[in-house]
Amino acid sequence: MPFGLLKYGLNSEYPGKHHFTPATELKRHYDVVIIGAGGHGTAIAYNLAKYHGITNVAVLEKSYLGGGNTARNTAVIRSNYLTEEGVNFYRESVKLFNNLSNEFNYNVMMESRGQLTLAHSDAAIRSFRWRAEVNQHMGVRSELIDRQTIAEMVPNLNMSEDSRYPIMAGLWHADGATARHDAVAWGYAKGACDRGVELHQLTEVEDIEITQGRVTAVKTNRGRVECGAVVQAVAGASSVVAKKAGIALPIHCYPLQAMVTQPYKPILTPHISSPHVHVYVHQTSRGEFVIGGGSDPYPLYHTRATLDQRETLAAASMELFPFLAQARMLRQWAGTTDMTPDYSPIMGLSPVENYYLDAGWGTWGFKATPICGVTMAELVATKKVPDLIKPFELERFYRYDQINEAGATAASH
């Protein structure tokens, strides 16, 4: 060990610099309380502080920073959705992601690798053509590509015509990317705390006080806190927390699992997904193959990893990449995802005054982190719903005005 490092570690005059606010007592009152210190909660706090000058803000986290779905996702960033509303929204998020390291002066390891979704049927080709048209119209790089191009782009992919579901074509999305997920939460949290926001870990919101239709305080395991406004950003617990404010959300929670292999030398650049075989694979900059698929088939609040899902993901990934039969598994994990009926988020106002919703992030919310931060902070600061998130309001379920992204999220997240 270098001598300088040892000296630093042992010397009491060199206290380690805290990235985030050290735990202090909770204040009696905050202008804004944000429930949940994942990427979304911290991004909202950061934007409130940096762009709206609102710093009397507490982010309350029952566990540890980024320990929810933010640190469990497979980091896929893309904007090639199907609906105009979806493409518009995620396109702006991808743009913000591209500049995030500069914004933080902190490396979030953004890698523009491209994303390829495989078509194994005529029906899939038809729907991909539709998606490509919508995407191009909205300024997103997305095109249908043929077998020959796919074979050249991904030489290790099983292009055999004798496979169970031969690959017929693909939707190529050059804007597809990945970033280091926990670094995103750390970057936002550091930026928020540097500007005066308080981050309180191990602080669970147990109840929410509403007086005459308006939120006035939250009760936590560390005491009661009065507040001018509350934002809930608790993916995986959205219905549970909203219920404390008397709000019913059309959300059911399902576990979502993923796994990684041991590291290999770099051979796969794009992110590959197959809605038909129901699996996706990409290789991290460390060399591990990340493998994921669909949610568990039953609603459950749990983060256990199951043998059943491991077998399913292993079989499906080997169908696309036969060499993975030799790979050793390093880790498997799960998160709890809050699924809406139309596979789009619920953002904006709620029936309770000054209580704002950032929910329904299912299996697709990591990529939305930066734009949620911007739009939700604007909503809290100005009380006006930004146009970009207007289509995602809770009210849409009462007007039968849903934004159906089921096809564009399947096994791609």
Among 34, 46, 48, 72, binds ligand FAD (CB under 6 A): 72
Q: How far apart are CA 140 and CA 160, in angstroms?
A: 31
Of 168 and 242, which has the nearer Cβ to ligand FAD?
Answer: 242
Question: Using the rule CB under 6 A, is 337 a contact of ligand FAD?
Answer: yes
Among 258, 371, 374, 389, binds ligand FAD (CB under 6 A): 258
Question: Using the rule CB under 6 A, is 363 a contact of ligand FAD?
Answer: yes
Question: Using the rule CB under 6 A, is 279 a contact of ligand FAD?
Answer: no
DSSP 8-state symbol, 310: H
Orientation of helix 369-382 relative to helix 84-98, angle to 10°:
100
Among 34, 37, 150, 247, binds ligand FAD (CB under 6 A): 37
Least Å from the CB of residue 391 to ligand FAD: 18
Q: How far apart are CA 300 and CA 336, in angstroms?
A: 8
Region 308-327 residues binding ligand FAD, contact defined as CB under 6 A: none
Per-residue interface string for the shown chain with ligand FAD, residues 235-254, x marking contact by CB under 6 A: xxx---x-------------
Q: How far apart are CA 334 and CA 280, in angstroms?
A: 15
Least Å from the CB of residue 26 to ligand FAD: 12
Least Å from the CB of residue 140 to ligand FAD: 16
Among 21, 47, 68, 355, binds ligand FAD (CB under 6 A): 68
Q: How far apart are CA 232 and CA 69, in angstroms?
A: 15
Per-residue interface string for the shown chain with ligand FAD, residues 189-208, x marking contact by CB under 6 A: ---------------xx---
Cβ atoms 80, 89 nearer than 8 A: no
Q: How far apart are CA 221 and CA 157, in angstroms?
A: 51
Q: How far apart are CA 327 and CA 129, in angstroms?
A: 34
Question: Using the rule CB under 6 A, is 172 a contact of ligand FAD?
Answer: no
Question: Using the rule CB under 6 A, is 367 a contact of ligand FAD?
Answer: yes
Among 183, 215, 231, 234, binds ligand FAD (CB under 6 A): 234
Residue type, 166: P
Q: How far apart are CA 50 and CA 30, in angstroms?
A: 17
Q: How far apart are CA 173 and CA 281, in angstroms?
A: 15
**Parallel, antiparallel, or unpaired: how do β-strands 214-220 and 205-211 relate?**
antiparallel
**Parallel, antiparallel, or unpaired: how do β-strands 279-283 and 214-220 relate?**
unpaired
Question: Using the rule CB under 6 A, is 36 a contact of ligand FAD?
Answer: yes
Least Å from the CB of residue 279 to ligand FAD: 13
Q: Which two tokens stand for residue 301?
A: 């609040």
Of 115 and 168, which has the nearer Cβ to ligand FAD?
Answer: 115
Three-class SS state of 104: helix
Cβ atoms 217, 209 nearer than 8 A: yes
Least Å from the CB of residue 319 to ligand FAD: 20
Q: How far apart are CA 320 and CA 282, in angstroms?
A: 12
Q: How far apart are CA 41 and CA 121, in angstroms?
A: 40
Instruction: Tell me how far CA of residue 96 lies from CA of 52, 158, 291, 368, in angstroms.
Output: 18, 35, 26, 10
Nearest CA-CA partner of 332 in 355, 357, 313:
313
Among 70, 80, 115, 340, binds ligand FAD (CB under 6 A): 70
Least Å from the CB of residue 4 to ligand FAD: 36
Candidates 5-13, 15-23, 62-70, 190-198; binding stretch for ligand FAD (CB under 6 A): 62-70
Q: How many residues bind ligand FAD (CB under 6 A)?
A: 41
Among 69, 317, 332, 350, binds ligand FAD (CB under 6 A): 69
Among 63, 98, 149, 306, binds ligand FAD (CB under 6 A): 63
Report the interface residues with ligand FAD, using CB under 6 A: 35-41, 60-63, 67-70, 72-76, 204-205, 233-237, 241, 256-258, 292, 335, 337, 361, 363-367, 413
